[in-house]
């Protein structure tokens, strides 16, 4: 079972904006300081789950994880698929950097049949209350 990552989506507050930006090649590489020690598990079908406005709202499949440079100048580049997959809203507190995200903790994907015109915060609240 693949391992996932979770990260705050800084500078983008709407899934639609991320979807538009993901089509550009320069937006499909995420730079981080630390390379995951469990990169092989993540590259085996894992995704990067994005937190926007306090909740997980979507994910992108991780295609490759590469360490660039050496020593103090080294950094990690995470190459993402251009397709943004919406997920059921899942509340998350702010954190720095990225975290491993176990598959059992990941929210389910939203299918086209489940898509709604409700605002994300209202949909999240309804799910948390068990009303939807």
- pLDDT 10s digits, 16-35: 888 888 887 667 889 998 89
Quote the pLDDT of residue 132.
53
The total domain count for the chain is 1
What CATH number is given to the structural domain containing 121?
2.30.130
Instruction: Answer for the pair 44, 2: CB distance below 8 angstroms, yes or no.
Output: yes
Kindly list the distances between the CA atom of residue 30 and the CA atoms of 62, 76, 79, 92, 106, in Å, as whole numbers in the listed order. Answer: 10, 8, 7, 20, 20
Q: Domain range spanning residue 90?
A: 4-129
Nearest Cα neighbor of 65 from 51, 75, 52, 53 is 75
Low-confidence ranges of the chain (pLDDT < 70): 25-26, 112-118, 124, 127-132
């Amino acid at each position: 079972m693949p391992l996932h990552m979770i990260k705050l989506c800084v500078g983008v507050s709407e899934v639609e904006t991320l979807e538009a930006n993901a089509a550009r090649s320069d937006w499909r590489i995420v730079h981080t300081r630390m390379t995951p020690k469990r990169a092989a598990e993540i590259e085996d079908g894992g995704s990067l789950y994005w937190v926007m406005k306090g909740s997980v709202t979507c994910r992108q499949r991780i295609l490759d994880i590469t360490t660039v440079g050496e020593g103090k100048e080294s950094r990690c580049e995470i190459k993402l698929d251009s397709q943004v997959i919406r997920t059921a809203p899942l509340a998350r507190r702010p954190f720095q950097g990225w975290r491993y995200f176990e598959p059992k903790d990941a929210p389910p994907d939203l299918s086209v049949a489940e898509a709604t015109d409700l605002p994300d915060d209202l949909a999240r609240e309804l799910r948390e209350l068990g009303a939807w």
